[in-house]
């Protein structure tokens, strides 16, 4: 059974930092492309950051220079370090694992940034 379990969300003031974690089980983690998405109230889910199996990364423009995605294959975990948070970062953040025709989602973790 595949599970992706996010943690690390919470309430933080603008300018603060949070680190999200997503622990995977039931998959060969190292071959999966891992992504972080977010969905704000009333908005579509958007891709925030991704990291490939070989460690290449990409970010949506609004978080470049503030967020860092990383992975630890020994721990089957992907991270999202979020710095200089702004109220517009408030959303539910979801972890996604993709490989060929396989696609899995976590349950999401709430991030709220107060002004």
- Distance between CA atoms of 50 and 31, rounded to whole angstroms? 13
DSSP-based helix, strand, coil % in the chain, nearest 5: 10, 55, 35
Is 25 in contact with 32 (CB distance < 8 Å)? Answer: no
Give the pLDDT confidence score for residue 33 in this predicted structure.
Answer: 98
- DSSP structure string for 33-85: EEEEEEE-TTS--EEEEEE-TT--EEE-GGGTTTEEEEEETTTTEEEEEE-S-
The two structure tokens encoding residue 88: 């517009």
**Nearest to 46, CA basis, from 63, 71, 66:** 63
Give the pLDDT confidence score for residue 25 in this predicted structure.
Answer: 98
Give the pLDDT confidence score for residue 62 in this predicted structure.
Answer: 97
Task: Work out the mean pLDDT of the chain and round it to a whole number.
Answer: 98
Give the pLDDT confidence score for residue 102 in this predicted structure.
Answer: 96
- Per residue in 29-67, pLDDT (tens digit) is 999 999 999 999 999 999 999 999 999 999 999 999 999
């Amino acid at each position: 059974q595949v599970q992706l379990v996010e943690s690390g969300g919470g309430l933080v003031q603008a300018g603060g930092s949070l680190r999200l974690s997503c622990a995977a089980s039931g998959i060969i983690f190292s071959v999966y492309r891992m992504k972080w998405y977010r969905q704000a109230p009333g908005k579509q889910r958007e891709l925030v950051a991704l990291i490939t199996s070989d460690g290449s990364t990409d970010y949506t423009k609004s978080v470049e220079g503030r967020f860092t995605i990383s992975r630890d294959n020994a721990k089957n975990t992907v991270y999202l370090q979020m710095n200089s948070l702004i109220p517009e970062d408030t959303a539910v953040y979801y972890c996604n694992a993709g490989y060929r025709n396989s696609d899995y989602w976590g349950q999401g973790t709430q991030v709220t940034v107060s002004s």
